Amino acid sequence: MKKHILTFALTLFYIVFAHGGDPAFIASMQKQLAARKTITTYEESQTVINGFLRIADASASEWLPYYYAALLKTEAAFRFDIDKDKSLDEALELVTKAAKIAPENSEITALHGYIVMGKISLDPNGRGQTMSPQAIQLFGKAINLDRENPRAVSLMSQMELGMSKFFGTGPEKACGMARMSLDLYKKEDAKITDEYILPTWGKMQVDQVVSKCK
Amino acid sequence: MNPLLLLFIPFILLQTQAFAQATIQGKVLDEKGFPLPGANILIKGSYDGATSENDGSYHFETDLRGSQVLVFKFLGFKTQEITITLDQNSLEIQQIKLIEEITEMNSVTISAGTMEASDEKKAVVLRPLDIVTTSGAMGDIVGALQTLPGTSTVGNDGRLFVRGGDASEVGIYIDGLRVGNAYGSSTSNVPTRTRFNPNIFKGTFFSTGGYSAEYGQALSSTLSLNTKDQSIRTQGDLSLMSVGGGYAQTFANDTQSISLTANYFDLKPYQKLIKQDFDWERAPYGWDVELSAQQKLKKGGLVKVLARTEAGGMKLWQPQPGADGRGMFVNLHNKYSYAQTNWRNSYENGWSLFGGISVSSNEDDLVIGSTSIERNNLLSHTKFTAIKYFSDRISMKVGMEYLTHNYSEKLKTENQQRSFEENEKYLFTEWDWYLSKKLVLRGGLRAGNSKLANESWIDARVSLAYQVSEYGQVSIASGQFHQLPIENFRAIDPTIGNSKSKHLIVNYLYQKEGVIFRAETFYKNYDHLIRFEGSPTNPTRLRNAGAGYARGIDFFLRDRKSIKNTDYWISYSFVDSKRSYNQYETEVQPDFAPKHNFSLVVKHFIQAFNSQLGATFSFNDGYTYTDPNESGEMNSKTKSFENLSFSWSYLPKPNLIIHFAVQNVLGRDNLFGFSYADNPNEQGVFESLPTVQSAPRFLFLGIFLTLSKDKTANNLNNL
């Protein structure tokens, strides 16, 4: 009798907990991350963003859903023929929400800088002077928060490359940082499993910087 | 089989049946009933949901059962929630219409009578950076604003003159608090400039009339300067210039920043190299020290402090018409201090509060010939404002102000003094009503009381803006304005009261991707202007008996797109203004209101040389003056004013800027009027002297170095 009650209790336990909490969160995140790889139109991008926002609404203590929604809004601004400033502003709103949940987070800070870089690229003459210091400050902070974050180092190297072109100084510093970022990406690759939902993007951009260094 | 296990089987079967999915579907529309694609529909607390398609329809599956909340979300629209019961396999939801949320970024703004220089809002015509990079402005805010429509350049004065109004008709505010003696003290047709360095401001809001009920005591316009909320990084800024030098040290972290600046200028070495047309005994010189600090409070809110003290002077000989020799000796020494502190905070419940206090203290010691005058002016301003956003469509602003004004004038050798003590109280309220994203109405009332003049008054202000097309809008502003007379008149007769004016402004603004076009027409009438007998230096029988009008139209075009790496703007203003005021018995065109005013500003960036080149051309059709050899008042006009300026900013390294500028490159001998002898000579002719520029050209060279851990920091905004 005791054995059956125990089996019953364990079965109930399994039924109740297997469909809620962490595994469900990870499963939903993986579903949207997989969908992210197949985006070809703005509408598809909007659908995946909304998917992340639904997860964000349901999981108030998680920063990743807002992070990815912000990242997708930023990528949409460059990929598709839409109101780019508006999309980047919406990305800023979302990354700020992520930062409220997880302050002093290296990935969120690096993404914030990436969005600022995007805003600068839309009006370099008008915004370059005031927003470049902000972007550099954010990347510096992201590196300080996590020296192994390949994206923070890669984005800083892109800013360095831009500045070196503008002032006519050599690309050595930018190239050094880009190569360091490549090493960090390799290290990160080793950590990736099926269940890995932390950010892994950005390697293509640093490859481009390194190609200009040869 | 164990009987107990039999009991569990149905239970388990029931659970399995509960895992069959239910389909939810429906349509999302906007206010007008058109499909809304991209909306996010979800069940509260779960990950289940979908995005609406191009036709507004959506469908998704869920495992949940029972009473649930279905949420409809779309950025820019108000979220809606409905309660649903999931007890079938399929549920059809009624059509949902989402209502747009009105925000600052997506709605129309009142542009009539306003020109904003900031990075923040939509309808800005200038960026803060434009103020320091405009040729000919020499880093002076007013210098840059003079290239905008609605302003006149009065070269021998240097202050801001708006639409036929005198410079004293422009109220100057920093962070919403009044600044007394905002311009440096000057004399003898030596042009002045604003005391404050443009780099401390994040935004400039300049009105050409019809301004908000929050401001008053300015018949023509207000210039509202807003200081930076925080400095980004710790840095030191060194400036070495042909006219002096200075150093600023800033300390900054995430929640607070503090800056300490010291500057010294002396035109003596410069005047030794470049010949001057004025007869200087001692070239203008001065020093200033400024402290500014910002602190973010733990529970939200921001406190700012700004304090500045400066002193300076000049000595020169002013030739007199009809007399030989060097003329009258003029010696001016000035001491000025300004301090203010303010606090602001926004709350989740829709309230925003602001409180602040400012004090300005100015002392002028002036010797003109044998007369020695000491003037003291002390102004304090305390203000408290509350804003409440009732919804995204209606907001209200209320506030109260208290000003004290103490002024004294002493004739030192005769030991005579006249002075006054005044305090003023104000209450204001203003309401904004957004009927839609495209139409906004604003109405305000401002009540004031002056103890010294024993007067109370109330002003109404009404404005609206309507978006007529995707990129264009029309805006109208109107209102009444009161202003008490300038200090020297009130000291003679404290009973004289407010002058009044009424404005009506209609404006059309078109903005599309880097191009702005603005056309504005205005009508102002003036009443109760100050009239007196005698001369401006010795007025008698002061009374509010003057009247006048100003009307005209101006155009502005700015294009940052069409020509590569080039930013230019063109502005033209036509002002027809006449008034009877001061010593003028009839309605005349004032000497600060030329009819035709034109400016062209060009900035071009040359990547290969890390340089920005700039040029500014300013023109007006001349200033009126009275020639006593002819009959009538203001019966003559000078030749036209033309000024071509050129500047070159060179960035050899990220933290180093070299700036070179020349004002009046072509060396045109502009005239601002004539001064006449008091009595005719032996031939019965009143002799005259032209009022000229202090030198044919002004050259400037500056080197700006920024020292900080971040090697890419530079001083471009500190020019």
Q: Is A8 on the interface with B (CB under 8 A)?
A: yes
Q: Is A213 on the interface with B (CB under 8 A)?
A: no
Angle at A168 between CA A166 and CA A169, to 5 degrees: 115
Contacts of B72 in chain A (CB under 8 A): none
What average pLDDT does the segment A9-38 reach?
70
Percentage of chain B exceeding pLDDT 90: 66
Which helix (H) or strand (E) is B512 found in, with range? strand B499-512
pLDDT tops 90 at residue A195: no
The CATH number corresponding to B114-550+560-718 among 2.40.170.20, 3.30.390.50, 2.130.10.10, 3.30.420.40 equals 2.40.170.20
Interchain contact, B42 vs A125, CB within 8 Å: no
Which residue, chain included where needed, has tokens 């360091």? A180
- Local confidence band at B14 (pLDDT 50, 70, 90 cut-offs): very low
- In this prediction, residue B115 carries a pLDDT of 80
**E strand segments, B513-610:** 515-535, 538-559, 566-580, 596-606
Q: pLDDT, tens digit, for every residue of B309-324?
A: 999 999 999 999 988 8
The two structure tokens encoding residue B34:
């058109």
DSSP track, chain A: -HHHHHHHHHHHHHHHHHTSSHHHHHHHHHHHHHHHTT--SHHHHHHHHHHHHHHHHH-TT-SHHHHHHHHHHHHHHHHSSS-HHHHHHHHHHHHHHHHHHSSS-HHHHHHHHHHHHHHHHHSHHHHHHHHHHHHHHHHHHHHHH-TT-HHHHHHHHHHHHHHHHHHT--SHHHHHHHHHHHHHHHHHHHH--TT--S----HHHHHHHHHTT-
- In this prediction, residue B13 carries a pLDDT of 45
From chain B residues 648-687, the ones with a CB under 8 A of any chain A CB are 651-654
- Gap between the Cα atoms of A111 and A99, Å rounded: 10
pLDDT tops 70 at residue B104: yes
Which of A25, A57, A125 lies nearest to residue B42, judging by beta carbons? A57
What average pLDDT does the segment B528-535 reach?
94
- In this prediction, residue B716 carries a pLDDT of 47
pLDDT tops 50 at residue B649: yes
- In this prediction, residue A14 carries a pLDDT of 45
pLDDT tops 80 at residue B140: yes
- In this prediction, residue B453 carries a pLDDT of 93
The two structure tokens encoding residue A194:
């099926």
Q: Is B219 on the interface with A (CB under 8 A)?
A: no
| Nearest C-alpha in A relative to B708 | A133
pLDDT tops 70 at residue B604: yes
The two structure tokens encoding residue B705:
């170095």
Interchain contact, A129 vs B50, CB within 8 Å: no
Q: How many CB pairs under 8 A join A and B?
A: 87
From chain B residues 367-386, the ones with a CB under 8 A of any chain A CB are none
pLDDT tops 80 at residue A125: no
- In this prediction, residue B108 carries a pLDDT of 82
Interchain contact, A58 vs B46, CB within 8 Å: yes
What average pLDDT does the segment B138-143 reach?
83
pLDDT tops 60 at residue A210: yes
Contacts of B233 in chain A (CB under 8 A): 133, 137
- What's the whole-model pTM score? 0.85
The CATH number corresponding to B3-98 among 3.40.50.1980, 2.102.10.10, 2.60.40.10, 1.10.357.10 equals 2.60.40.10
Interchain contact, A132 vs B38, CB within 8 Å: no
What average pLDDT does the segment A91-111 reach?
94
Interchain contact, B654 vs A55, CB within 8 Å: no
Q: pLDDT, tens digit, for every residue of B332-380?
A: 999 999 999 999 999 988 899 999 999 999 999 999 999 999 999 999 9
Interchain contact, B717 vs A129, CB within 8 Å: yes
What average pLDDT does the segment A127-152 reach?
89
Min Cα distance B231 → chain A (Å) is 11
Contacts of B250 in chain A (CB under 8 A): none
For residue B275, count other CB atoms closer than 10 A to its CB.
9
- Gap between the Cα atoms of B336 and B375, Å rounded: 12
Which of A8, A51, A130 lies nearest to residue B129, judging by beta carbons? A130
- In this prediction, residue B442 carries a pLDDT of 95
What is the residue extent of each domain of chain B? Answer: 3-98, 114-550+560-718
Q: pLDDT, tens digit, for every residue of B36-74?
A: 999 999 999 888 899 999 999 999 999 888 899 999 999
Q: Is B48 on the interface with A (CB under 8 A)?
A: yes
Interchain contact, A24 vs B47, CB within 8 Å: yes
Interface confidence (ipTM) of the complex: 0.81
- In this prediction, residue A116 carries a pLDDT of 95
The chain-wide mean pLDDT, for chain B, equals 89
What average pLDDT does the segment A79-86 reach?
90
Q: Is A58 on the interface with B (CB under 8 A)?
A: yes
Angle at B567 between CA B562 and CA B571, to 5 degrees: 100
Q: Is A90 on the interface with B (CB under 8 A)?
A: yes
